[in-house]
Chains A and B, each alone.
Chain A
Amino acid sequence: MPSDPAGEGPAELAGTHTVRFPGGYTRSTGPVIGRFLTELRDGRLVGVRTAAGRVLFPPTEYDPGDGAPLPDPPEFTEVGPAGTVHTWCWVGAPRPGHPLDHPFAWAAVLLDGADTALLHALDLGPDAPADRPPARLRAGLRVRPRLRPEDERTGSITDIRCFRPEVTRITDDHRLDYTVRADAALTRYLEAQLHGRILGSRTRGGRVYVPLRDVDPVDGSPMAGEVELPGTGVLTTFSVNHVPDPRAPEVPFVTGYVRLDGADVDLLALISGVEPGKVHAGMRVRAEWLPPHERTRTRPSIRWFVPDRGTGAEGERR
């Protein structure tokens, strides 16, 4: 025995002790358990039928209800592959011997066709939170076994690595890229907006459309000429929107139809600079433009319309 350090009282004696049978235990399975494990090693789930017709899974050689023997020879029947969760618990901090090293559930799973449930691990993904179970973990959840790869299966209940929920949705994250070309009328309209000009078209009958376009939608005839319009006009009707939109700074925000002076159709635009409750049909508005350095030829340069309080014809700064 090692001697105590000189001068102190006796230290507590502690050491390690390991019990492990070299090579492991060998257990004979008998015909029923053996059959179950053989089938499982080979990729199938089978239960056994009692005299009353109930299917035990995993199978035992007797009816656990009353110990009665099974019919002889035993009648094996495939169950699953899917099952239903009956009860469960959520393991937030797995122990070393647990089958998974991230949070998971233990669950009693009743395989389809079986009358008794199987206990096993239920994997809800590596990102499952430790502090609470995922919302979809509930009795009735449909699950399926995930078997180990064939060459790793040895005939053990752990040949099922775990269970996983059935697939109920797939994600389709496809993306298509297009190159879109603006036609001549649209290109000209947007180019003019870069310079603070609003262009429209006049029909043969003298009606004025804005934005610029090639064809009169009423009769399909070509437009007769180009017209420049002022940035002032009248709000014909509008909507006060309480549903947020990425393009509008905050809710509520107002969108409305603006009949520019001289035009015969309306432009749909954002209305700003006025309390929503004070907006009314018939009010005069004028365009407010993006500052020149923010303008691009890929979108209109009018930011929005604001109340036009001036009675004069100064127009806005462009």
Chain B
Amino acid sequence: MSAVAVVSYASRIHPEGTADSEAGLVHSAVTEALARSGLARTDIGFTVSGSLDYLTGAPFSFVGALDALGAWPPISESHVEMDAAWALYEAWLRLRHDDVGAALVYGFGKATQGSLPEVLARQLDPYYLAPLGVDAVSLAALQARAVLDAGKADPAGLAAIAERAAGRCAARPRHAPEDAPPLPLLPGHTARPADGAAAVVLATEDTARRLAAEHGTAPVWIRGLDQRIDGHSPAARDLARCPSAERAAAGAGLAEAPVDLAELHTRHPHEEVLLREALGLGPEVPVNPSGGPLAADPVMATGLIRIGEAARRIAAGTARRAAAHAAQGPCLQHNLVAVLEGDAR
């Protein structure tokens, strides 16, 4: 069974939102990713995307994005109603059949169109949770409380995490006026919804090596990839732990060797505390050198962007081995971990 590598990545992120359509954002990111990979559109054997109809309030939002791909002659294509990191997971499974040499993965979301805390609340159990009118930020605040009460962080530590993220995104106002979340969350402690798209090209070993020889692209090997889900109701879980992230990290073999950096899907500072613990990342491991979701959160592309940003740094030679993480669902219910590695130099 062939190894699989990330051979290119591109993203388009608009923290202020954009009038550009989802298809336009996808077209831009996919065009750049293909160009960087050295592959033509017709070299792609399988295409998968991730998106969410509820971000746009209409069904089949992924269908319009197909126009951006030049899907002619007809292509082998699939879609998940999940963060595009899980689309990458489906592509990775497909490449392991060893009959297709390259796959295109993309994700997109215009999270500025609706009220994101209410949109995400539509994910909740419709019998016991949704009728309460509880929103996604309130649930995150519950988890923040649990983390503080468990002694895993203190308010100063959380503030420092938020400051670091804010520092990497100059455009973000320090305290947005509309930001008045439930305590203990504070203004600036919630990811900023953005519009955006991202694309990643994956290749099996033979193709990746050929592209490296022909175009100088540095393959970034996916050494491990695993995803797990926890129980749903935040009231029924120990919110100070993240078991599915622990299992995903173990399944991806993260602990086998140290990592130089981690890109984590942290939408609030307390989530970084939880995920460092779940993934076994010590304080010496830099988290979210890209700025992470706190700076800009193009929902449904955000998880794929973590993988892309980690891969980009390995390809550029500034890291050798990295962890990338994606999450979805209330209070980090569903987690994916990828372990990426460049060739030995």
User: Interface on A for B, CB 8 Å cutoff?
Assistant: 170, 172, 174, 176-184, 186-187, 213-221
Stretch at the interface among B15-23, B222-230, B245-253, B299-307: B15-23
B317 at the interface (CB under 8 A from A): no
Whether B17 lies near A181 (C-beta < 8 A) is yes
Instruction: Please name 7 pairs of A and B residues whose Cβ atoms are closer than 8 Å in the assembled complex, sorted by A.
Output: A170-B131, A174-B130, A179-B113, A180-B57, A182-B19, A186-B21, A215-B68
Q: Which positions 14-53 of chain B face chain A at CB distance < 8 Å?
A: 17-21, 23-24, 27, 30-31, 41
With both beta carbons as reference points, the residue of chain A lying nearest to B42 in the complex is identified as A219
A172-B130, A186-B21, A220-B41 known; A178+B113 contact, CB < 8 A: yes
B119 at the interface (CB under 8 A from A): yes
Option from B19, B67, B122 in Cβ contact (under 8 Å) with A217: B67
Whether A218 lies near B17 (C-beta < 8 A) is no
Option from B56, B70, B113, B126 in Cβ contact (under 8 Å) with A218: B70
Interface residue total, chain B, C-beta cutoff 8 A: 32
With both beta carbons as reference points, the residue of chain A lying nearest to B41 in the complex is identified as A220
B318 at the interface (CB under 8 A from A): no
B71 at the interface (CB under 8 A from A): yes
Whole-angstrom distance from the CB of A148 to the nearest CB of chain B? 26
CA–CA, A215 and B23, complex, Å: 9
Option from B31, B67, B122 in Cβ contact (under 8 Å) with A176: B122
Do most interface residues of chain A lie in helix, strand or loop, or is the interface mixed?
A: loop
User: Interface on B for A, CB 8 Å cutoff?
Assistant: 17-21, 23-24, 27, 30-31, 41, 54, 56-57, 66-72, 112-115, 118-119, 122, 126-127, 130-131
Interface centre among A177, A184, A215, A221 (most CB of B within 10 A): A215
Whether A219 lies near B41 (C-beta < 8 A) is yes
Which 9 pairs from chain A and chain B are nearest by CB?
Answer: A220-B70, A219-B70, A181-B19, A183-B21, A217-B67, A218-B72, A178-B114, A178-B57, A178-B113
A176-B57, A178-B113, A181-B17 known; A220+B69 contact, CB < 8 A: yes
Whole-angstrom distance from the CB of A92 to the nearest CB of chain B? 33
Whether B70 lies near A221 (C-beta < 8 A) is yes
Option from B18, B67, B113, B130 in Cβ contact (under 8 Å) with A180: B113
Q: Which A residues lie within 8 Å of B113 (CB)?
A: 178-181
Whether A177 lies near B114 (C-beta < 8 A) is yes
Whether B18 lies near A176 (C-beta < 8 A) is no
With both beta carbons as reference points, the residue of chain B lying nearest to A180 in the complex is identified as B113
Q: Which A residues lie within 8 Å of B41 (CB)?
A: 219-220
CA–CA, A17 and B253, complex, Å: 93
